[in-house]
Amino acid sequence: AEGLPNITFYGRQDIEKMPSFYTMADAGLVTMKADPVISLTIPGKVQSYMAAGLPVIGAIDGETVTVVNKANCGICVPSGDAAGLADTMRRLADNPESLVEYGRNARLYYQKTFRKQIFMEHLLKVLTACANSE
């Protein structure tokens, strides 16, 4: 509708097809409405983006912002901040080197933090600590 030839929306796709879409993407977008409960979660797509080495661009609040900032793997603006999101995308488009760095950081953070083995080990430690505290 806006005549932007370098942007394509493919619509909803099966999860099995997503890796092929990630290889075509410059970054992963995550948007969520402002909600105190939702803010406590990290949408699964964020971890998928990071595993694929994609920078994360978000209009989101809470835990996702914490992870993106800690990993230095992208930029988030507050939920609902369409102007801030557009500005962020413009700045990143003008600085493709930052996308490469954010993508590299995303993959490294994923490997250190979210891989199944690491997650299960951390979960076991937490559950063991809870059981020992009683």
**The pLDDT of residue 82:** 96
Q: Please give the C-alpha separations between residue 44 and each of 28, 62, 93, 134, in angstroms, as whole numbers.
A: 12, 15, 25, 32
Give the model confidence (pLDDT) of 40-98 as tens digits: 989 999 999 999 999 999 999 999 999 999 999 999 999 999 999 999 999 999 999 99
Element (H, E) at 31: strand 28-31
Torsion of CA 19, 65, 102, 106, to 10 degrees: -50
- Is this prediction's pTM over 0.85? no
Where would I find the H helices in 1-134? 18-24, 44-51, 63-71, 82-93, 96-113, 116-132
Q: What radius of gyration, in Å, describes the C-alpha atoms of the chain? A: 17
